[in-house]
Chain A
């Protein structure tokens, strides 16, 4: 009798915030891209269901979305293969897969939490990393995703007082969910941006030292969005790109991986990807 193979569940890394426009999408795209560049099997899930920007930023035209997954699970249950609904993103040697947000707002409005949980759990069996982009609110779906996540990266930004207040409320609320302390990591985006809010207050508001601070570079970030290429995959060396890479290394417990090694690693995993999506045996 063939030895039964143990399934391996990959990690879910979720980017969350309770303030809007803090860069969740940009950072989650770059995380997915960086992990893919390193050769991991990566899926990026866009859970900003109504107005998700993942496919906009990556210039993808998805044929299937989470709405189709929900439909698939409704009709075939556990026999629904979620990998059939992914859209690949390929840039040079890096490839990762996107689970797109619905094309129609009506579909987005009618997405239920239970099938999305089932989808995430299934994606975990197929990928090393499932990166999730969210909306800035405590919705039923977001709470379920936070529960399922291996690591939650709470993104903050130095902005005017109402935003700081919302981040503080969000942080307090997250504390009440009683996750393990090291599951929740607070990252400050645009850390050196102009703001009247002193850094000390930021630290106090977000309840603890920052796990990482990303520099402010609106121009570079904007150009990357326009070009459709994540900063970490761009040939232009930027401080922001470098800092995004460091965030990924740290949050996945890796040492700095030099360029050439990662390429070798990629090829190793690359075979699996083509097997997985080139057609099932």
Chain B
């Protein structure tokens, strides 16, 4: 199916330039172009566009979106701007835009954008999860890697991992990735990015799972701004149905802001025979300031032996609240897979680890539907 594009750009010269880009893009047909939104609203219908490229600079974007979605409910609206502001983008997306592109763009960029938006759907129904742990060595990176793979496999939706453990992120090693760019560059450059450009910062693990890697060397001075980080997460919402964020251990500016941006925060603890349960309790106390704590914060324990319902009940009793999941001791298979950088392929689907991760994945998918499919 060819893309039938209607282009709305107030600037005469820019309209010309963008029209050429659309015309030279393979698989794209320019069916109408207007300098005025009113003309486009009244006349464009005759040409049955299925993609609308709409300028939002110096316009009341919200009103425009409202009008265009009403008149063209079948078409995908992609907003165009000379600048990218993550907040602006997400409000446009919430108002019904399928995507966002920085102008001027080339034929290649247009194609890439539309493909990305078609794949991700540019929906606001992105479900963001942060994996917090009081101390290091919690097993959460293993959990995130395997949960992301399970979510991708089960839903066939796009899943993004953001490794925000800025000093010692392990995702790169787990998946044996050699990223061209990391979270540090993404955060620095987010002001000039659209979701499409941000997408190129994510490394592909499988068709459904992509990773924004952590740094390869620790930043001695934390040069990643929290504002920038938050904008990366917000913009990533436009790209992925599920986002899993790995954060540094303990309460840090990064881990706190990630948790605040998330729909759910998993507090992950590895049982090692020490004082882990006490640490978890203390950490959970902090989150109890949130009114919707029950829905947003869920404890998970790893290296639980035996990994069964009785152990889970015991932990719940000790903790005084429900435990979302218990994950078995999978040191041997995990370390083999991680040593080879082959986490994506090496974990046996019928292993105890896979089974417990799959159970959690089902819960995530369930929550997600309940959350978003309600009228």
Contacts and interface: CB of A to CB of B under 8 A. Distances in A.
Interface in B122-136: 134-136
Contact of B272 (A21, A56, A105): A21
A50 B134 contact: yes
A196 B135 contact: no
Which of A138, A161, A166, A222 has the most CB atoms of chain B within a 10 A radius of its CB?
A: A161
B339 A21 contact: no
Interface string A167-178: 001101100000
**Which of B217, B334, B335 has the most chain A CB atoms closer than 10 A to its own CB?**
B335
Nearest to A173: B218
Contacts of A196: 335-336, 339
Interface residues of A, number: 35
Contacts of A217: none
A50 B141 CA distance: 21
Interface string A7-21: 000000000001111
A135 interface: yes
B154 interface: no
Nearest to A50: B250
A68 to B, nearest CB: 18
Nearest to B174: A162
A135 B338 contact: no
B282 interface: yes
Contacts of A160: 331, 334-335, 338-339
B168 A51 contact: no
Interface in A44-60: 48, 50-51, 53, 56-57
Query: Which residue among A48, A51, A169 has the maximum number of chain B CB atoms within 10 Å of its CB?
Result: A51
B80 to A, nearest CB: 42
A20 B136 contact: yes
B168 A105 contact: no
B173 A169 contact: no
Nearest to A165: B173
A161 B173 contact: yes
Interface string A185-200: 0000000000111000
A109 interface: yes
Contacts of B134: 50-51
Nearest to B176: A161
Interface in A131-183: 135-138, 140, 143, 159-162, 165-166, 169-170, 172-173
Q: Among the interface residues A57, A137, A138, which one has the most CB atoms of the partner chain B within 10 A?
A: A137
Contact of A136 (B136, B170, B217, B341): B136
A222 B335 contact: no
Contact of B275 (A18, A50, A56, A143): A56
User: By CB atoms of chain A within 10 A, which of B274, B331, B341 has the most?
Assistant: B274
Contacts of B170: 162, 165-166
Q: How large is the interface on B (under 10, 10 to 19, 20 to 34, 35 or more residues)?
A: 35 or more
B296 interface: no
B61 interface: no
B249 interface: yes
A225 interface: yes
B251 A173 contact: no
A51 B274 contact: no
B370 interface: no
B339 A161 contact: yes
Given A51-B279, A135-B250, A136-B136, A169 B272 contact: no
A162 B217 contact: no
Contact of B335 (A50, A53, A106, A159): A159
Interface in B251-303: 251, 270, 272-275, 278-279, 282-283, 285-286
Interface of B: 134-137, 141, 167-168, 170, 173-174, 216-218, 220-221, 248-251, 270, 272-275, 278-279, 282-283, 285-286, 331, 334-336, 338-339, 341
Given A53-B274, A108-B251, A137-B218, 14 more contacts: A20-B135, A21-B137, A21-B270, A50-B250, A50-B251, A51-B135, A56-B274, A57-B275, A105-B251, A105-B285, A143-B220, A166-B168, A172-B217, A197-B339
5 contacts: A18-B218, A138-B218, A138-B220, A160-B338, A161-B335
Interface of A: 18-21, 48, 50-51, 53, 56-57, 105-106, 108-109, 135-138, 140, 143, 159-162, 165-166, 169-170, 172-173, 195-197, 222, 225
